[in-house]
Structure 1
């Protein structure tokens, strides 16, 4: 053995790494890196994933002021998931976001809510959000991700971390048990062997509850619960990771994750509450096309809107870097959003009245943090402009003949949308736009969605969005060919 090689071996030995084969040396180097990363995790803004099958997936927790906290799933999508995976050293291109506490309920307080990233950030704490600890979220709203491990060159293929879903099958039967009334209770399914088992509550949402109620001819889902209130014992046969789109005719058409069977993180079971009456919001796509137009507006007049994140990220960069930022202009695509309640029950916000947030700029309370989202996509489906409406004040602006308006925002009034009434946000209202200042001229897809996060139950979510063609030149913009569909 050469002297220099002997010296290296002795040095590595003293560092607890033996001069073994290249594969062993690589493994030990990885352990050292992992140990170093654990020390880095103690830094403010560090993140980790909890509750998943492996370290590549789980609910996201972030470190702030020396304690770990969860992130709420409000406005959580693929951009935020990509930043999380990037920060953890995984491939960001294949990041998959999860909501509704898919990997079990939040174990700690929420540090972040309404997180908005454009995808370029290196860490999630660099994204915009409401402020540390400011949230209105429950334990069933934890945000999570599923990341893909980096592929090692000339080695074994990378692991497929994506969830494999399997149909429940036509032999599956469903029932409700232990409810106070016949329309509520824990959900149990009967397998091919004739055994009844409860369902793991992880990731259980209104979509699955809606199909259960439809299957049992009990109307519509008013609540989807992850709870032990109705009893039931989780076993190795308890299914988990059940997913429905919400429009299945029967429950056996839904899918489930085989890997989640008997592996319930929350220890809570899935339960539902059904009702015969329910609201159903429908967006007026014709009024949207009729009122859409461009407007250039100085940032001085957008200060209120900037407080609610209603402009593009570059506007905040201009504000930081340019002393005369208030004289700069932003180009806005403005339009009217008319939302009609075609159901047989009033649409009411999910947040209790005492938790509504007062907005000084707009001089009224906001009862829903995210009632509508406005997005523009290019031909490849990439979101290129976003004008999210942080919150709405819900009221009856216009009703059909014979219907008396019930809800009004003024004077801390009750908020909602009555049956056969419309809430109308005219194009003249703050934040009723998409900031397209950075958009190149061309052809795009424009989408407006109401109740986009499905926080409030409805008869159906298939009519909550309008997707349109948007043609944009430097001086003109037109919105045409709108189609009503699911968000």
Structure 2
């Protein structure tokens, strides 16, 4: 039973949660889901967990969007099984903040412990918009999240790249934000991530941030035992 490490590598802004972990996977962002219950860890049954729940877990761990969900993908838990069904909306910060209900079945058959793969942690995020697909644009650099700004004629192009990078579909709207120190970014709109765009940063320069609302089309593959649906 191997929990993912929370340090090292470029993506050092991943988070160790006190109540949720993915174990026996390749790292922090993949593995069998376990939830802390009365000071011990419990696996979660596939029937009690869905896409919105996966989005919350991946976000809580500081990982990117959920990429795959499959019962038994990372083996079976050795201890107890979580006794509730999660009913997340998808915008909660913590899995244990989600509503729950009594499980429909009292048993979880072998091969049904939730295995979850989140994409690698994003170095871009949208904050303050109520979901991971809406909010002010920030970029992680040298241990800090910094505001991303762009000139008016280029904001739509930058927004398109941000929505694409986050797996959040297309741009719905772009709104003005606050003026602060941050990155000034220039994109053509066809890039797959902000890293491919031109950027500049100065501790003395102010940039006009902006808020992006994406369509929210997160890509999550629910996998059958031997095939991707």
TM-score range with shorter-chain normalisation?
0.3 to 0.5
By percentage of residues, which structure has more strand? 2
Question: TM-score, length-normalised on structure 2?
Answer: 0.47
Question: TM-score, length-normalised on structure 1?
Answer: 0.25
